[in-house]
Amino acid sequence: MDFFRVQSVKRMRELIDQQVRRTEKTEEVRLSEALGRVLAEDIKVTEDVPSFTRSTVDGYAVISKDTYGASEAMPGFLQVIGEVEMGEVATKVIHSGQAVYVPTGGMLPEGSDAVVMIEDCEQVQDLLNVTRAVAKHENVIRRGEDASSGDVLLYKGKTLRPQELGALASLGIDSISVVRKVVIGYLSSGDEIVPYDTKELALGKIRDVNGVTIPALAKQWGVDVKVSHIASDQFNDFYQKAERLFQECDALFISGGSSVGAKDYTTEVIESLGDNDPGIVVHGVAVKPGKPTIFSVSSRKPVIGLPGHPASAMIIFQLFGKQIISRLGGEEKYKPVTTKAVLSQNIPSSPGRTDYIRVTLEEGTPFLKATPALGKSGLMKTLVKSDGLLEIEEKKEGIKQGDIVTIHYFL
């Protein structure tokens, strides 16, 4: 087999970062539709949040200095001059020696700079016995403390999580510019592959598994996927199906034929799409499983040839497909979701390639326990059993029972 442009995993990642550019297209979305989307603009703060200084507790607004030295043994005395209603403007002005009752979230009256909790004082008619001193700004959120007019609240490239949506809501922002959703194309190839809903399977045929796993993974990442009918091992049929998807999508993923068998047209088809500039950048990655991976860029679109074996296809899509999609979607930095675990048995490995071992995770203290789900890359059962992938670096000859390892979750 002639893998003429084999690269390490690290180099493959660098090449993806270099070659794959964010889709320039943006769209306006309502806040209620913006979860998981990537901001296409910086969001400037145009008003102070909160717009008034608020209490964080039920208590009495005071001038902090008036409480200095107050204790259980030696309470301080203040005069209560009124109370603030929730949601209303505080109209009273506090002078030295005075206090005003405020509920949690209520506005602090002018002149006050802290709040004494009701647990730390006792009101007898209009006299307040304060048994604990408060520092300046204790138990309050100051005007503009959350967001101050003129600041940048969120930068372009930020993926919007519930907390970012909450921050936007606090500013009253309902319409934002986000990077248009990435649309990927997926195509299974091979004369032996038949639609997965085929009831009577002819001998020699197998059901299309990758046509289900790869689009499902992509959907889990919030990507729109167009799935083509399976391409046969005939150049024209294969090319036409690939070309249609290539035109309609931001990136194309093809499974099968990435190796170099006699009837494998994948390379030829990939080279026929678009301007083929720079064309195939990588053919073969020093990785197990998934060595016969193809990475091409044509007419500024990435095209990936995934190895046909279902575990290899899923693992390669997880490793590099996720990175490509994150870059197309304009995310500031691709962050794999990982956890530490302690290994339950020795695993040998050959130096010179990165191994990805499927593992099952079990509870454990202080680390989760990782047990390899070993098996051939054509088998589904090891994937079904596993929770994530364990990476064995290129230079290592294996890892030992008891080693602390990093696991990439299947996401």
Residues near ligand MOO, by CB under 6 A = 288-291, 307, 309, 312, 377
CB of 292 to ligand LQZAQKY5, least distance (A): 5
Closest distance to ligand LQZAQKY5 from the beta carbon of 269 (Å): 13
Question: Which of ligand MOO, ligand LQZAQKY5, none interacts with 391 (beta carbon under 5 to 8 A by kind)?
Answer: none
Nearer to ligand LQZAQKY5, 190 or 321 (CB): 190
Which is closer to ligand LQZAQKY5, CB of 168 or CB of 193?
193
Nearer to ligand MOO among residue 92 and residue 288 (C-beta): 288
By beta-carbon proximity to ligand LQZAQKY5, the closer residue of 55 and 228 is 228
In the bound complex, which residue of the shown chain has the CB atom lying closest to ligand LQZAQKY5?
Answer: 308
The site for ligand LQZAQKY5 (CB under 6 A) is made up of 1, 188, 190, 192-193, 206, 208-211, 255-259, 261, 264, 289, 291-292, 307-310, 312, 377-378
Using the minimum distance from each CB to ligand LQZAQKY5, give the nearer residue, 289 or 302: 289
Judged by beta carbon distances under 5 to 8 A according to partner kind, the member of ligand MOO, ligand LQZAQKY5, none in contact with residue 206 is ligand LQZAQKY5
Residue 321 backbone dihedrals phi, psi, to 5 degrees: -60, -40
Closest separation between CB of residue 371 and ligand LQZAQKY5, Å?
24
Closest contact distance (angstroms) between CB of 288 and ligand MOO is 5
Minimum gap (Å) between residue 354 Cβ and ligand MOO: 12
| Nearer to ligand MOO (CB atom), residue 310 or residue 388 | 310
Binder of residue 180, out of ligand MOO, ligand LQZAQKY5, none (CB less than 5 to 8 A by kind) = none
Spell out the SS3 assignment of the chain. CCCCECECHHHHHHHHHHHCCCCCCEEEEEHHHCCCCEECCCEECCCCECCCCEECCCEEEECHHHHCCCCCCCCEEEEEEEECCCCCCCCCECCCCEEEEECCCCECCECCCEEEEHHHEEEECCEEEECCCCCCCCCEECCCCCECCCCEEECCCCECCHHHHHHHHHCCCCEEEEECCCEEEEEEECCCEECCCCCCCCCCCEECCHHHHHHHHHHHCCCEEEECCCECCCHHHHHHHHHHHHHHCCEEEEECCCCCCCCCCHHHHHHHCCCCCCEEEEECECEECCCCCEEEEECCEEEEEECCCHHHHHHHHHHHHHHHHHHHCCCCCCCCCEEEEEECCCEECCCCCEEEEEEEEECCCCCEEEEECCCCCCCCHHHHHCCEEEEECCCCCEECCCCEEEEEECC
Q: Nearer Cβ to ligand MOO, position 286 or 324?
A: 286
Closest approach of ligand LQZAQKY5 to the CB of residue 194, in Å: 10
Smallest gap from Cβ 87 to ligand LQZAQKY5, in A, equals: 60
